Structure 1
Amino acid sequence: MGWLTISVLAVVVGLALLLRWRRPAWYWLSFGSVFAAFRIRLRYAAVMDACHLTVPASRFQLALARTLHREVPRQRIPRLLWMRPTRTGIRLRIRMWPGQDAFEFSSAADRLRHSFAVHQVTSREVKPGVVEITLTAFDVLKHVQMPTKTARGLLKVPVARVEDGSVHYRDYRETPHSVTVGATQSGKSVFQRTVIKELAAQPVALVGIDCKKIELSPFARRFSALADNPDDAADLLEALVDRMADIYDLVRCEQRISADTPDAEIAANIWDLPEALRPIPVVITIDEIAELALSAKRNDPRRDRIITALIRLAQLGRAAGVFLDIYGQRFGSELGDGITLLRAQLTGRVVHRVNDESTAKMTFGDISPHAVFAATQIPNARRGTAIVGYSSGEWTRIRTPHTSMREAVAACNTHAGLTPDIPELARFKPVVDFDLHQITETAVKAA
């Protein structure tokens, strides 16, 4: 009987070690969460005291102890409201004592990580007096696997995994315009492919500008318009500006504001219009902004047209359903006049691995110096890892799952039937259904 018990224990321990090595998520759900919950319960008071997250006893308790000649009361420990295991860690909901704030817990995140023996600790304020601490048990970004169920919606697509185990979404309704910066081989193109792959299945119009001619052209069947040189890009952007003006005229005609018009029926953007009249949203993807902004001439009329149109789209496009996704290796004032003004309109900021600190400062300098430092610490071996910054000053680390060119092209071809025909952009629609033999014969005859 003793040998049988030892054999069973050996098998269980071996299985646990194997899961921890090969399938950390399975190990966490089967063994790790139980051990971690017990460890947190056992160490909670000592950890709070060691991390200086306690407060002195109240004045009444101190006065009572002096009056009754008792021992001075101990430091008060923040109350642990509940502890809830997740697929990647544990969430703790803690009620703070008067005089504490959420910044104290976020500042102590690294000390809490070592004390609880977990991979990552993040905290956020849920409501006044209550803070939620998320303990991530293992490196979620080492092998990125997106969950099977995500909160998809119109113009809201999952694109990456966050270091705390949650999903990062590209939500165009919430963040209409964004800039994504990264060096060569940093994973920027994979991020772009993932966004396009997810948008391909949605009823939106995709518009691309790709002066390299190789990044967006494979997805041409799903694009309503595509420009592959600066001259066409200038004309395309101005056509989009004209379309935006027409949409605003449509919204104005449909407002019909009177004293008896309900507030909910007053149109201020395309989402307030009846579905039958609502123009289809347009997502513009610019593969390399430097190819449009750099110019050998000091006063280049074409460049001025491009930058002016981009600024107008960034300032006014949201309500008309026009959204910008700008990609580049650098995005700073060295690209010329107007770039700083354009960057100020781009709420979404994503930085992959960069070659110098100044590139990160261009993107995050007005948001958070901590995000700048984090962007410069991304290792070369972690392609697809990026820092996402928010206008509130917060930032987080994400990593995009690998999306091959074939997967993105297959998604675009599968949903090619959803490609809308926009009359204003008809002359920019890419030609994808052609006879290669006929083109060869025509070229031979021309020669």
Structure 2
Amino acid sequence: MSDLSMVLEATGALVGAGGLGFAKVRAPRVYWSLVGLPVAWGRFTVTYRSTMDVCGLTVQPSRLRAFLTRNVARREVLPVPPKIRRVRGTSTGMRVTLRLPAGLEPADLMAASERLRHAWGVHSVTIAETKPGYVQLRMTGYDVLRRVRMPRTARPEGLAVPVALREDGSAFVRDYRKVPMALTLGANNSGKSVYQRNLIKGLAELPVALVGIDCKRGVEQSAYAPRLSALVTTPDEAAALLDVLVGEMGERFDLLSAHGVSDMWDLPERLRPVPVVVLVDEVAELFLISSKKDEERRERIVTALIRLAQMARAVGIYLEVCGQRFGSELGRGATMLRAQLTGRVVHRVNDKQTAEMGLADIAPDAVMAAGLIPAERPGTAVAADSSGGWAKIRTPHTSRAEAATVCRRFAHLVPDLPALAPFRPLVPADAPVAGPSLVKPLPVTD
């Protein structure tokens, strides 16, 4: 009987080890919750003070504290690390809230994030400032970007769309109220189109007007025609549409002036115009010219884009510009327009210069990270904004058919904008489904 129990115990141990190994590969959230989180939590608790000390994240205590420690507690005066306020485990990692002592700033912890990652044996450590004097260490236990699963959180309010997953396990939200203009760069097959599909899929459910500029004869955006208020497929049509948008912007400014406000969102809801999101699929096609006679059209387009990027935020017109490369070689006005695009998302690029075009002026530290994105991980990108912060993100795969289905489902949300009516795309009627013929056949007689 003892031999049988020994065999059963050994078999159970092997099955348990095999199950944990399977969970580590196929269900990393389960493995992290059962094994990774307790181990990481214990390692963090035991080694916190020594780790902060060797990483240079401690400061000398105040004179009063040093005096009390030396003369009352009769202990050696040691450097003080940030005080732990809260430790919370999640399905992807840990969240640790720290109170910074005088002499430390969030940038000090950001500079040491790679050393902290190795010290505590986690996949990544990112630092986020929650309020003055407090930071949050967001530790990720495993590579959440290997298999993207968006968190089940409530949809953000306002004009915001969750489009990707951050490296720390939270959702990357494209909020047009906070970041009104944005630029997305990426090489072929880098996931730039999938990012735009997720964006359109989310925007289709909101009460906004979507305007598409796709100078590749509409091959990307024509599938979303049921939800688009306007769609142009050639540079000549784009020039005419942008002129109309500039005129619409002027009329909205007149409305703001008449009611004594400086922002569209300060108007009463019954008077507030519908927000407009302009989606430019390949911005280089609007800049490039093939002959001298196209120069005037190019100047119209560039001038209109710059005017919209500079002023349209206040009247609810937002730009979402995509391209493979966007530098000064496109011609006059390209650099000026890029400077107005606050949000930056850079996918895998073919050269370092392209990454610098998108990130060097707002987040120089992110340029190297953008250059290390592997080709076998399409959809991975570096997202940054004018605050200097950046994060690695990955977009969940969304097919063109899925995005088109959502656009058809919410086609009734297309707002009535008379100025854009001439550019409204023609939506073909659904083809009838093949079925049995209702005509009764007649026999052939001589």
Counterpart position of 1:240: 245
Deviation at 1:78, TM superposition (A): 3.1
Equivalent of 2:280 in 286, 289, 293: 286
Q: Give per-residue Cα distances to partners, 1:369-420, cap 9 Å, x unaligned.
A: 2111111111111110111111121111111000101101111111111112
Percent identity, please: 49
Counterpart position of 1:253: 258
Deviation at 1:5, TM superposition (A): 5.2
SS in 1 for 2:378: coil
Q: Report the residue type matching 1:292 in the other structure.
A: L
Equivalent of 2:264 in 244, 260, 270: 270
Counterpart position of 1:154: 158
Q: Distance in 2 between matches of 1:66 and 1:276?
A: 68
Is the CA contact 2:346–2:355 (under 8 Å) kept in the aligned structure 1?
yes
Is the CA contact 2:151–2:170 (under 8 Å) kept in the aligned structure 1?
no
Equivalent of 1:114 in 105, 115, 118: 118
Q: Give per-residue Cα distances to partners, 1:154-206, cap 9 Å, x unaligned.
A: 32000000001111011111111111011111100000111001111111111
Structure 1 range deviating more: 309-318 or 75-84: 75-84
Q: Give per-residue Cα distances to partners, 1:72-100, cap 9 Å, x unaligned.
A: 53333432222110121001122233322
Q: Distance in 2 between matches of 1:203 and 1:301?
A: 35
Equivalent of 1:428 in 423, 438, 444: 423
Unaligned runs of 5+ in 1: 256-266, 438-447
Q: Distance in 1 between matches of 2:379 and 2:387?
A: 24
Structure 1 range deviating more: 414-423 or 173-182: 414-423
SS in 2 for 1:250: helix
Over the aligned positions, Cα root-mean-square deviation in angstroms equals: 2.3
Counterpart position of 2:364: 369
Q: Distance in 2 between matches of 1:360 and 1:368?
A: 11
Q: Report the residue type matching 1:368 in the other structure.
A: A
Counterparts of residues 329-408 of structure 1 (less than 5 Å):
329-408=324-403
Equivalent of 2:168 in 164, 167, 172: 164
Counterpart position of 2:435: none
Structure 1 range deviating more: 366-375 or 191-200: 366-375
Q: Report the residue type matching 1:405 in the other structure.
A: R
Asked if 1:20 is matched to 2:24, the reply is yes
Is the CA contact 1:150–1:158 (under 8 Å) kept in the aligned structure 2?
no
Is the CA contact 2:326–2:357 (under 8 Å) kept in the aligned structure 1?
yes
Counterpart position of 2:210: 206
Counterparts of residues 83-102 of structure 1 (less than 5 Å):
83-102=87-106
Deviation at 1:252, TM superposition (A): 2.3
SS in 2 for 1:431: coil
Is the CA contact 2:210–2:277 (under 8 Å) kept in the aligned structure 1?
yes
Q: Give per-residue Cα distances to partners, 1:347-367, cap 9 Å, x unaligned.
A: 111111111111111111211
Q: Give per-residue Cα distances to partners, 1:202-224, cap 9 Å, x unaligned.
A: 11111111110201011111111
- Judging changes above 3 Å, is the alpha-carbon distance between structure 1 residues 431 and 61 closer, same or farther for their aligned structure 2 residues? closer
Q: Give per-residue Cα distances to partners, 1:104-138, cap 9 Å, x unaligned.
A: 21111111111100000111333343322111100
- Judging changes above 3 Å, is the alpha-carbon distance between structure 1 residues 78 and 428 closer, same or farther for their aligned structure 2 residues? closer
Structure 1 range deviating more: 70-79 or 149-158: 70-79
Task: Give the structure-1-normalised TM-score.
Answer: 0.89
Deviation at 1:29, TM superposition (A): 2.2
- Judging changes above 3 Å, is the alpha-carbon distance between structure 1 residues 407 and 309 closer, same or farther for their aligned structure 2 residues? same
- Judging changes above 3 Å, is the alpha-carbon distance between structure 1 residues 129 and 204 closer, same or farther for their aligned structure 2 residues? closer
Equivalent of 2:41 in 31, 37, 40: 37
Q: Distance in 1 between matches of 2:61 and 2:215?
A: 66
- Judging changes above 3 Å, is the alpha-carbon distance between structure 1 residues 64 and 279 closer, same or farther for their aligned structure 2 residues? closer
Structure 1 range deviating more: 395-404 or 146-155: 146-155
Q: Distance in 1 between matches of 2:263 and 2:60?
A: 54
Is the CA contact 1:187–1:383 (under 8 Å) kept in the aligned structure 2?
yes
Counterpart position of 2:318: 323
Q: Distance in 2 between matches of 1:402 and 1:435?
A: 26
Q: Give per-residue Cα distances to partners, 1:322-343, cap 9 Å, x unaligned.
A: 1111100111111111111111
Structure 1 range deviating more: 421-430 or 272-281: 272-281
Q: Report the residue type matching 1:296 in the other structure.
A: S
Q: Distance in 2 between matches of 1:71 and 1:30?
A: 39
- Judging changes above 3 Å, is the alpha-carbon distance between structure 1 residues 36 and 339 closer, same or farther for their aligned structure 2 residues? same
Is the CA contact 1:203–1:418 (under 8 Å) kept in the aligned structure 2?
yes
Q: Report the residue type matching 2:298 in the other structure.
A: R
Q: Give per-residue Cα distances to partners, 1:209-261, cap 9 Å, x unaligned.
A: 11102010111111111000011110001011111111222222233xxxxxx
